[in-house]
Amino acid sequence: MARLRPATRRCTRTGCAQPAVQTLTYIYGDSTVVLGPLATYAEPHSYDLCGDHGAKLTAPRGWELIRLISEESEAGPSDDDLLAIAEAVRSVITSNPHQNQPTIGRRGHLRALPSE
């Protein structure tokens, strides 16, 4: 099943044209920097970063840096997912091909007449 992704956004670092993969936000009250998966929507006071800039990110002195890792984007499809897809394909292939064909009933009552 395909997962919907937000529209492609670029890294907000000056001069970087790489696609954004992470979103950086600040919690000023707790002196915390949070770097997590790319947010669904671009929000004010949050910054989208590419993988390189996200990996190099450091927190200001006295601040805590929290890196939230998206299990879904890092892990990729599991073996169970791939097996389920393979089983679904097999079941469609092995099903009776004549089962979905329509039956032909009586002949239609409309006819084309030649023009005079």
pTM of the model: 0.54
Coil vs helix vs strand at 2? coil
Q: Where are any strands of DSSP class E within 10-104?
A: 22-27, 32-37, 46-49, 64-67
Query: 83 is in which domain, residue-wise?
Result: 22-94
Coil vs helix vs strand at 10? strand
104 lies in a domain? no
User: Quick one: which of 6, 4, 42, 7 has its CA closest to 25?
Assistant: 42
49 lies in a domain? yes
Instruction: Please give the pLDDT value at position 43.
Output: 86
Q: What is the mean pLDDT of residues 37-54?
A: 90
The C-alpha R_g of the chain, in whole angstroms, comes to: 27
5 lies in a domain? no
1 lies in a domain? no
pLDDT in tens, 64-113: 999 997 655 555 566 777 788 888 887 777 766 666 666 666 666 777 77
Instruction: Please give the pLDDT value at position 5.
Output: 53
3 lies in a domain? no
64 lies in a domain? yes
Instruction: Please give the pLDDT value at position 71.
Output: 58
Spatial separation of the C-alpha atoms in residues 77 and 90, rounded to whole Å: 19
For residue 41, the one-letter residue type is Y
